[in-house]
Amino acid sequence: MFPSTGEVVARFLRSNGYDKTLAAFITEAGLPPDAGTTSKHDSITIEKVLEEKQAFDLVLNFEKVGLEDGNRGWNALLPPSLPSIVDVLPTSSNLLNVSIESLSSSNGEDSHRLIYSSADRQFCSMQTTSPKGHLELDKTYDQHQDSPVLAWVHLDHNLLLTGSMSGKLRLFDLEKAEVIHHRQDHTKYVVRVVKWKAFHGTYIATAGWDCKINLYHTQGPTYSIGAPIATLTVTSVPETILFMQHPDSSQPILLLTRRNSTSIFYYAVPDTTSRGTEESIKSMELLGRQNLAPHSNAWVAFTPACIAVSPRDPSIVAVATSQEPHMKLMIVRLLIPPLDKNVITSQEPTQASQARTELLVADREEAAIMISCNTMASQTAYSTPILVWRPDGSGVWVNSDDGVIRGVDSSSGKVVAQLKGHTSGTRIRCLWAGYVNPTRNDNDRTEWLVSGGFDQKLIIWYPDERKSGRDYPNDERLSS
């Protein structure tokens, strides 16, 4: 918890021996007599605040913001702003992940369900539609988990593939509440699970804290998960992975960022026809990389901790970085390398030509950074930066460690919204944003934002449509 302004001033007066001024200040400010007493764990001082202010002013000189465009900027028409705390959680624990999935039951009926996981191994789903519009706890699957679930991906119908802190993958049927299949190819936390659907099956990639990326291939309707068709070992913990289609072909490629590196790495997905024997399990081929700090002299300026693809343009991504004390947001155009790396050169490269080539590459990578801005979202070395796009692509929501969700304009890079519903000074761990039908009417589509944090609160943010006469769930309406 951050100290108050009065506490910081009292620390300064007490540490510098201004006893009379301290006594008068404590009386006027209504502080306790021991205000300003410091310990070895207290690091917030006036000097530290001034140093961070000077560093922030310096960072502003290096920010790269876009031009405001009325047709592309933040969509101010009914963004999520009114919080409603979900009060039907079976237990109180830190929230780890949340999403709303469109599921299909055995009778063919589609429904939206809110799925969340928490640190006490709870893995629950909730109905987002009901006659009164309130959330209803559907099922709890804690007895099927040996450790907290960190990530999952919806495969088809009611099937979810989950990754947990134990390193296990579980293929889970939500309707039957049973584990269909499980296997363990990671030795530590599975932090990311992503998929890519192709005409010949579904690719699945998982990333773990054992510094491994595993690639699987499966087919419906059973979706049994066999041995990996490819595996990749990196030199540091992977932060995020994404599937993307290569612009020159229909072949998917895998994007990867890892800790202590400022680059996005592009890997080719191997052909599934080579699957069948243990010898066919091989590593993925590195196509190239894109440096997000091309002209930096620092060894590691930051780590791209979270990447999300723009709903408007699949070649543009938003990147949340690990910079301290505030998260830096970047909007970047991807420079995907060609699949064919055979380039014919007329002469042997010299040291000077190599230097010119590296400079041209760095300039191109710098030009690909469309926006680089400070979000003022506080974080530390132990934070987990998370961002999600608004479904119309007009902006990005980012988490923080101060209990505030910030909305950033994707055109100008300005912080245009601050949502305050979580306990002040607590970490917001997970976000989800998208369109949801709160009723059975297909035309009744509403933009929702869902957040969960270490204050053990699960909050749904609704648009303020009270002027239109519509009624939304209001379990505990807070002022935003």
Across the range 357-378, mean pLDDT stands at 91
Q: What is residue 479's predicted lDDT score, i.e. its pLDDT?
A: 32
Please give the C-alpha separations between residue 400 and each of 131, 180, 426, in angstroms, as whole numbers: 35, 36, 8
Q: Which residue has the tokens 């042997």?
A: 348
- pLDDT-derived band at 376 (thresholds 50, 70, 90) equals very high
Residue 480 — very low, low, confident or very high, per pLDDT cuts 50/70/90? Answer: very low
Higher pLDDT, 297 or 325: 325
For residues 446-474, give the mean pLDDT: 78
- Predicted confidence (pLDDT) at residue 460 exceeds the cutoff of 70: yes
- The fraction of the chain above a pLDDT of 70, given in percent, is 83
Q: Which residue has the higher pLDDT, 99 or 468?
A: 99
Q: In whole angstroms, what is the distance from residue 237 CA to residue 188 CA? A: 11
Provide the mean pLDDT of the chain.
84
For the chain, which residues make up each domain, given as ranges? 5-51, 82-109+306-335+348-480, 145-302
- The residue whose two tokens read 């363990």 is 184
Order the strands of the 212-218 sheet from edge to edge: 190-198, 201-208, 212-218, 230-233
pLDDT band at residue 295, thresholds of 50, 70 and 90?
confident
Judged against a pLDDT cut of 90, whether residue 472 lies above it is answered with: no
Q: Does 346 have pLDDT greater than 60?
A: no
Say if strands 404-409 and 190-198 run parallel, antiparallel, or are unpaired.
unpaired
Lowest mean pLDDT among 10-19, 316-325, 419-428: 10-19
Q: Provide the pLDDT for residue 137.
A: 75
pLDDT of residue 436 exceeding 80: yes
Q: pTM for the complete prediction?
A: 0.80
145-302 CATH, one of 3.30.230.30, 2.60.120.260, 2.130.10.10, 2.40.50.140: 2.130.10.10
Residue 183 pLDDT exceeds 50: yes
Q: What is the pLDDT of residue 478?
A: 34
